[in-house]
A = this chain, B = another copy of it.
């Protein structure tokens, strides 16, 4: 077996258990989905937060995950949209592509900005308590010092133990996903741009797969009766992509029983 040309640097929750872990990062997950949809083999390098900068230092101060080492002139490509553009340019075929047209690339960019600036804020209260529960101590310290304000994390951890707040937070996520629900209702295919999943689907799917860290999110969001077309899209996406994730079960007491 030959060594794959590509290497993907991924974020995982726990340094010592890193080889066994699935990344919980929305941004890493969509790059993995991009690679999966194009059938591109790659070597994964899972890293905990504090390992990212030292590992990628040679690529400059801005380097972060996901980072794709192309083993080619392009060197290390960072940023999930830029990675998608690189992969599409070099690996798209007639039947498998991440965009499909210049306007499809614009569509994907708008969907990605909508998701990362809107959906992300709404879904974080439902995921952060699990992220920090699975983090090793150094990763937890890094997260509250560098990624998300400590007092906001503390609030989310408290809210997560309150079944009513969890339901309210999930309803807020469903309200945002109603844009996708209505869009799918008017669309001409199973996926966002027809019958082939593309990077725009991968962006939304990156939120679905990261959501699997909290088992209440399937009944309360992704398979909720308010969003029947989203639920069907999830089913179709999993079937066509063959992608799956595996996260440890929530530690006792982190998520309220509903």
Contact = CB atoms under 8 A, between A and B. Distances in A.
Contacts of A100: 103
A187 B118 contact: no
A114 interface: yes
A101 B81 CA distance: 22
Contact of A179 (B81, B103, B113, B178): B113
Interface stretch (A38-46, A63-71, A104-112): A104-112
A139 to B, nearest CB: 28
25 contacts: A100-B103, A101-B101, A103-B103, A103-B104, A103-B106, A103-B107, A103-B193, A104-B106, A106-B107, A106-B187, A107-B107, A107-B110, A109-B183, A109-B186, A109-B187, A110-B110, A110-B111, A110-B179, A110-B192, A114-B114, A114-B179, A117-B178, A117-B182, A118-B118, A118-B176
Interface of A: 81, 100-101, 103-104, 106-107, 109-111, 113-114, 117-118, 176, 178-179, 182-183, 186-187, 192-193
Given A178-B117, A182-B113, A183-B113, A192 B106 contact: yes
Q: Chain A's interface: helix, strand, loop or mixed, by majority?
A: helix
Contacts of A187: 106, 109
A193 B192 CA distance: 18
- The CB with the most chain B CB atoms within 10 A, among A100, A110, A117, A179, is that of A110
Contacts of A114: 110, 114, 179
A104 B81 CA distance: 19
